[in-house]
Copies of this chain bind each other. A is one copy, B any other.
Amino acid sequence: MLRTSFDMEVPFYDVDAYRIVWHGNYPKYFEVARCQLLEAIGYPYEKMEQSGYFFPVIDLHTRYVKPIVFKQKIQVSAMLRDWENKLVIDYVIIDLDTGQRLTKGRTQQVAVLMPDNITQFQSPPELIQHIEAALRNTTEQG
């Protein structure tokens, strides 16, 4: 499975009046993880554009298991789940010290062909080729 992770410390500006990360700030964490995963696959946003597509998020689900606080050290991971018709990525946030799972998430993205913004019901070959190559590399290295 293709997976990337990064560590971060929660900044002051992400915390709300109850001194926990405001629930609407989690899409930022997921997006950084997603961009790193797409980078690892070799098909980041700028290459998507070069091949004529952008991939808007059409569905986002987040499960807030435990609150996260100012300065908490967390690890955010993105895992590729599906890519044939839609690009489906799962996310998990854990506490770096305890390993406890704090948050789960999932995004669905669909390819849209520019400039006429035509939604694609199958993923473009560029995405599939990059993912298959990345999977082969992972298997060989494993």
Contacts and interface: CB of A to CB of B under 8 A. Distances in A.
Interface of A: 11-13, 15-20, 22-25, 27-28, 31-32, 35, 45-46, 54, 56-65, 67, 70-71
Nearest to A110: B64
Contact of A16 (B17, B28, B46): B17
A59 B64 contact: yes
SS of A interface (majority):
mixed
A82 to B, nearest CB: 17
A15 B17 contact: yes
Q: Which of A17, A46, A65 has the most chain B CB atoms closer than 10 A to its own CB?
A: A17
Given A56-B67, A59-B63, A63-B59, A23 B17 contact: no
Given A22-B13, A24-B28, A24-B31, A60 B62 contact: yes
Contacts of A67: 56
Contacts of A15: 16-17
A28 to B, nearest CB: 5
